[in-house]
Amino acid sequence: MKRDMDLVRKILLAVEASERPLDSSMIRIAGYTGESITEHMRLLNEAGLIEGISAYSVEHRLKWIELRLTWSGHDFLDAARNESIWVETVAEVRKKTGAVPFEVLKGLLMDVARDTVRPVVETPRLIPNIFSKGGRLELSEHPA
């Protein structure tokens, strides 16, 4: 089975949207089989983007219970959340490499996120002064 980065993103979005840890049988994504979704969950677990407990169903099929995003999963999803940035970045990587290596995609998405916030970071900003008199938190203006 080939890795499908669009499915990876859809699974991460589904896990994030849940108020509580999920069971893999609760995730249904149009156009994908349950086996494909479960296999991609295994890959996401190996990559450290989700955590869960692997188990076998009565039918001896792999399933995941107590699924949740890891810190890295949240970071990747935050960078991959914008649909137009996602589509454009994946298309560009695929065009230039013929595939979509995860680390390359992750790095490019993080670069886009950095470039998006760079104008904000380059302007004067308020920085907490935790060493203020009386132990109170104060904000003071500092250039970036």
Question: Three-state SS string across 68-124, please?
Answer: EECHHHHHHHHHHCCHHHHHHHHHHHHHHHCCCCHHHHHHHHHHHHHHHHHHHHCCC
Based on the fold, state whether residues 24 and 59 are members of the same structural domain. Answer: yes
Q: Within this chain, do residues 66 and 10 fall inside the same structural domain, yes or no?
A: yes
Cα separation, 74 vs 71, whole angstroms: 5
DSSP 8-state assignment for residue 30? T
The tens-digit pLDDT sequence of the chain (144 residues) is: 889 999 999 999 999 998 888 888 888 999 999 889 989 999 999 999 999 988 887 777 787 888 999 999 999 999 999 998 899 888 888 888 888 888 888 988 988 888 877 665 555 555 555 555 555 555 555 555
Which helix (DSSP H) or strand (DSSP E) does residue 38 occupy? helix 34-46
Q: Is residue 86 part of a domain?
A: yes
In-domain check, residue 13: yes
pTM (2 decimals)? 0.76
Can you give the pLDDT at residue 62? 80
> In total, how many domains does the chain have?
2
Domain region containing 29? 5-70
Residue 58 has phi, psi (to 5 degrees) of -60, -30
- Name every residue whose Cβ is closer than 8 Å to that of residue 91 and which is 6 or more positions away in sequence: none
- Identify whether residues 22 and 62 lie together within a single domain: yes
CATH number at residue 52: 1.10.10.10
Q: In angstroms, rounded to a whole number, what is the distance separating the alpha carbons of residues 33 and 45?
A: 18
Both structure tokens of 103: 């680390």
Shared-domain flag, residues 65 and 9: yes
Same structural domain for residues 112 and 98? yes
Q: Are residues 60 and 86 in the same domain?
A: no
